[in-house]
Structure 1
């Protein structure tokens, strides 16, 4: 039994190394630089070892995305818990979301822009995705006091995602980030 435990720990360690290395390469050079050949060179394991853990690059990127969702959930919960009021919590959560996307662009891409088999809002939604949505929904629900917090959260999340992508691609005026965020928060907190 001890040998099986050790093998499972080694397998988990190799899997973690693959995901961590893919993430680091993607953040440094973009997802096009992350190939199974490059990963096998970087981690000093053969490509067949990679394929024992992942069917291909899509599954490796999904593993990075799942880690990203877990991290985003933690970031959102932490930001919301440091607030004095529901409106302040929503503002802090939104800022934390935007900062996460800015600081981890390749992870954010794995989470939201790469093709994936990850499903949102279904029976087979991975817990990491559910946790990120729940953390965001908590802040939105407290601030807006809506009976359908999930739909409102989807709209808020969509707005944040739009700000991330449009800002990243230079499609929004520079210098207005704070004003846009303040307007978004006001729309979700005023008159409710």
Structure 2
């Protein structure tokens, strides 16, 4: 590849990332309904045809944002798991990191788990960053547990429910620690904190 071709490729990758970043920022500030290709083109100072040369519409942008989010989530869950390598404590740390991620970046979380996208879960076409995030949950269960993927799936599902209900205000935020302790105790079979008085 020539130096000019490499430079063009770097510039294209930079524009691609700029569009994803602008979509995320706009969604966090105003919600996903505000993310339109016209507004994004204005925000990144490119024409709509240039934007469409990267993404064929809002659905493709949403998928790219979600995939980037899965990579960030996987890295965060990995750091949490490695900070406390013992299984019950690791599961507790990973679950807490997941809920913190959802609370800190609600628009990104929506793109990843709430809004309709073509991202396939538990499938041969699952994006590697999503699989990496799921594998962090799997790694929290003992390797001799033949159903560790099922345990990971149920844990993730419960956390998603907690995150969604918390975000909508349907469950009070002051019970989050107790919910988390209960979930980890049930899934890991070992209390993760001090026994209640």
TM-score by length of 2: 0.92
> What does 1:114-153 align with in structure 2 at a 5 Å threshold?
114-139=115-140, 141-142=141-142, 146-153=145-152
| Alpha-carbon spacing, 1:16–1:174, altered in 2? closer, same or farther (3 Å) | closer
How far residue 84 of structure 1 moved from its aligned partner, in angstroms, is 5.2
| Alpha-carbon spacing, 1:145–1:187, altered in 2? closer, same or farther (3 Å) | farther
Q: Which runs of 4+ in 1 moved over 4 A?
A: none
| Alpha-carbon spacing, 1:8–1:37, altered in 2? closer, same or farther (3 Å) | same
Cα deviation, 1:140-185, whole Å, max 9, x if unaligned, reads x23x963111111110000000000011111113421111111001
Question: In the alignment, is residue 163 of structure 1 matched against residue 150 of structure 2?
Answer: no
Aligned residues: 190
Question: In the alignment, is residue 189 of structure 1 matched against residue 180 of structure 2?
Answer: no
Distance 2:47 2:26 in 1: 17
Cα deviation, 1:51-71, whole Å, max 9, x if unaligned, reads 000010011011110010001
Quote the residue 1:22 is aligned against.
23
Runs of 5+ unmatched residues, structure 2:
191-197
Question: In the alignment, is residue 180 of structure 1 matched against residue 179 of structure 2?
Answer: yes
TM-score by length of 1: 0.95
Distance 1:153 1:85 in 2: 16
Distance 2:85 2:134 in 1: 22
